A and B are shown apart, each in its own frame.
Chain A
Amino acid sequence: MELKTKNNPTAIDVESCRLNHESIKADFPILDQKVNGHRLVYLDNAATTQKPRVVINALIEYYRKTNANIHRGFHSLAEKATKEYEQTREHVARFIGGVDPNEIIFTRGTTESINLVAYSWGDTNIKEGDEIVITEMEHHSNLVPWVILAQKKKAVLKQIPITLCGHLDLSDIDKIITSKTKLLALTHMSNVLGTINPVAELTELAHRRGAVVLADGAQAVPHLPVDVKALGVDFYAFSAHKMLGPTGVGVLYGRRELLEAIPPFNLGGEMIREVRFDRITWADVPYKFEGGTPNIGDVIAFDSALTYLEELGMDNVRQHEINLVQYAIEQLSGLDGIEIQGPQESSLRGGAISFTDKDIHPHDISQFLDSRGVAIRAGHHCAQPLMRTLGKVATARASLYIYNDMTDVDELVRALIDMRKYFGL
C-alpha cells in the first residue's frame, strides 16, 4: 500500500491503515507545550485546527522569498506568487472532487463565501414570496445571511427541523421543499451535533423542485472525503483554518454557469476587465469575485495543508475519527451527569461532540478543563436556534482531529470526573 508520506514517512501505519498519532503530533509544534502545568490537550478543532510545521514553514518561506502582488506586475516575484496562488486554486479544485479551477473563489472564510452567494446570487434571484429553506442546525453564518435576505426580499424562510437524536427530520420534507423553493442552504456537518447530513439526497430533491443548493462544508471538508460533483450541490463553502491551513482563507465553489450569471460582490481592483466612467465590464470567473488584493500568503500556505491531508488520505482521516469518536462517546456516556447531544453512532457523525453536565454550566466546565490543559469550547457555538431546540442555553463541545488520540480522550474524561468532585458533586 502506497501510504508513506513525503513529509512524515511514519504518519500512517500501513498495516492497520490507521494514523500514527505520535508521529502526527510531532508535526504540530504548538502541541508540544504545557498549559496551566499540564500537557496541552487540544479539543477545540471545530473552532480552528492547529497548523503543521509544513504550513508554518510555507508561510515563512512565502514572506522570505516570494512576497509580491499577483495578477499584475511582470517581475519574477509577481510571476512566482501568481503561479503559486493559482496552483493552490487548482489544488483546491482537485481536493473537492476534481472541479474546474475557475469554479473556485478564494474568500476570507466560510462566512464570506456564504455572504457572497447571499448578496450576488440572492439579490439577483430571490423575489417576493419565494421560499428559502435552511435547517434547524445551521451555524449563524449559514442562517443570518438568509434571514436578512428573506426580510429584504419579503421571501419566506423555512426550516427543516431536527429529530431528538439530532438528525434532520425529513418526514415532512415534501411540504418544506416545494416548487416555490428557490434555495436550499444546509450544513454538510453540524458544528454542534456532529451530524452528517444527507446532502446528496436533499440536493437531488431540491433540484427536482427547481431550487439551487448551497452546502456549508466548514466542518465537513476537513474531516471527510468530499466530492462536490457527487453531492450535486451548486455552491459549497469552507474555510482553510479548520483544515490545518491559515486563518483568513475561505473557499467558495460555485457551478460555473451560476457564477457567470451573477454580479460580483466585492467591487474594485483586480475584478474588472475594462473600466470607463460610464461602462464597466467584469473580469471572468473566478476573478470577478476576488476584488482587491487577496490573502496571497495564506492561500499559498494552504496548499501545504491540502498536501498534508492528502498524504494522510482523507479516507484514513475519516476512519480515524470514526474510531476515536466511538471511543469518546463510550467513555463520556459512562460518566455521571454527562449528557451527549446529537447522534451516538459514530459512522453517522463527525468529531464535534457537544455535551452538558446536569449540574455544571458549560462555562464552568470549560474553565475547569482549561486548568487541566484541556481546551474545549463552551457556549452556543453560533447556533442559537439549535440551542433553543435542544432546550439548552449552551453546551460544552470537545472536537477531535487527526492529532488527537485515545490518551486525549482519557485526559478529558479524567478531568471531567475531577471537575464534579471540585464542584462538590
Chain B
Amino acid sequence: MSESLDNMYRDIILDHYRSPRGRKPLNKSDITSNGVNPSCGDEISIEVELDDGMVKDVHVDCRGCAISVASGSILAEVIKGKPLAEVKRIAQMVRRVLKGEQMDIPDELGDLDALQGVRYFPVRIKCALLAWLTLMEGIKNHENGHGDVRTIVSTEDGE
C-alpha cells in the first residue's frame, strides 16, 4: 500500500470512521449547525449542549466520506468538556493546519493530530474542514443570538 495513502487514512482516522463518536442525540442543545459540502454532497449536523460556558455534550451526525466522518468524530471527542473560548481557538487552529498555514497540532489535542495527513491531499482538505467550519458557524450564530444555521461550506470560504 502506498505510504501516502496510509498517511491520510491513518488507523486513528479509520477507527473514527468505523465507529464515530458523538452519535448519541442530545436532549437539549444550545448550538445547532448544519453544513453541506456542495461539491461532494457530504452533510453534517452538529449540536452542542453548554453548561456555564463549557461544552457539556456534543452530537455529530455526518453522512459522507471517511475523512469527513472521522473529522466530525474527532471534533466531538476533542471539544467535549472544554470552554467555548478554547473550542473556538482549536477550531481556528485546525483550519490553519489543514490549510497549511500552521505546521503542527499540539500533542495534547489527542486524535486531532491524525488529521494532519489530509493536507497532502488538496482535494480532500474540504472533507476534513466540513465539521470544523460548521461548528465555527454555529458558535458565531450562537454568540450573535441567531438560531439554527445551514452552512454551505467550501475550502474557498475563509471562516
Contact = CB atoms under 8 A, between A and B. Distances in A.
A363 interface: yes
B152 interface: no
Interface in B44-77: 63-67
Contact of B39 (A360, A379, A422): A379
A380 B40 CA distance: 7
Given A367-B124, A393-B63, A423 B14 contact: yes
Contact of B2 (A37, A360, A363, A380): A37
A424 B19 CA distance: 12
B125 to A, nearest CB: 12
Q: How large is the interface on A (under 10, 10 to 19, 20 to 34, 35 or more residues)?
A: 10 to 19
B9 A387 contact: no
A380 B121 contact: no
Q: Label chain B's interface by main secondary structure.
A: mixed
Interface residues of B, number: 22
Contacts of A367: 5, 8-9, 121, 124
Given A361-B65, A423-B14, A371 B121 contact: no
Interface string A380-396: 10000001000001100
A197 to B, nearest CB: 25
A371 B65 contact: no
Contacts of B2: 36-37, 371
Contacts of A37: 2
A236 interface: no
B42 interface: yes
B66 A380 contact: no
Contacts of B9: 364, 367, 422-423
B42 A393 contact: yes
Interface string A354-374: 000000111110011001000
A363 B18 contact: no
Contacts of B17: 423
Max count, chain A CB within 10 A of own CB: residue among B18, B65, B66, B67: B65
Interface in B112-136: 121, 124, 127
Interface in A334-364: 360-364
A361 B64 contact: yes
B121 A394 contact: no
B40 A363 contact: yes
A393 B40 CA distance: 7
A364 B1 contact: no
Scoring A36, A361, A371, A379 by chain B CB atoms within 10 A of each residue's CB, the highest score goes to A361
Interface in B69-110: none
A371 B1 contact: yes
B41 interface: yes
Nearest to A388: B41
A357 to B, nearest CB: 11
B68 to A, nearest CB: 8
A387 B40 CA distance: 11
B39 A361 contact: no
Nearest to A393: B41
Interface in B7-33: 8-9, 14, 17-18
The residue among B2, B4, B18 with the most chain A CB atoms within 10 A of its own CB is: B2
A378 B39 CA distance: 10
A368 B127 CA distance: 15
A364 B39 contact: no
Nearest to B36: A393
Given A364-B65, A367-B124, A422-B9, A394 B40 contact: yes
Nearest to A370: B5
A380 B38 CA distance: 10
A347 B66 CA distance: 36
Given A363-B127, A364-B66, A422-B9, A380 B41 contact: yes
23 contacts: A36-B2, A360-B66, A361-B65, A362-B40, A363-B65, A363-B124, A364-B9, A364-B65, A364-B66, A364-B67, A367-B5, A367-B8, A367-B121, A371-B2, A371-B4, A371-B5, A380-B40, A422-B1, A422-B9, A423-B9, A423-B14, A423-B17, A424-B18
Given A367-B124, A368-B5, A380-B40, 4 more contacts: A361-B65, A363-B124, A393-B63, A422-B1
Interface of B: 1-2, 4-5, 8-9, 14, 17-18, 39-43, 63-67, 121, 124, 127
Interface of A: 36-37, 360-364, 367-368, 371, 378-380, 387, 393-394, 422-424
Minimum-distance CB pairs A-B, first 4: A393-B41, A361-B65, A371-B5, A363-B65
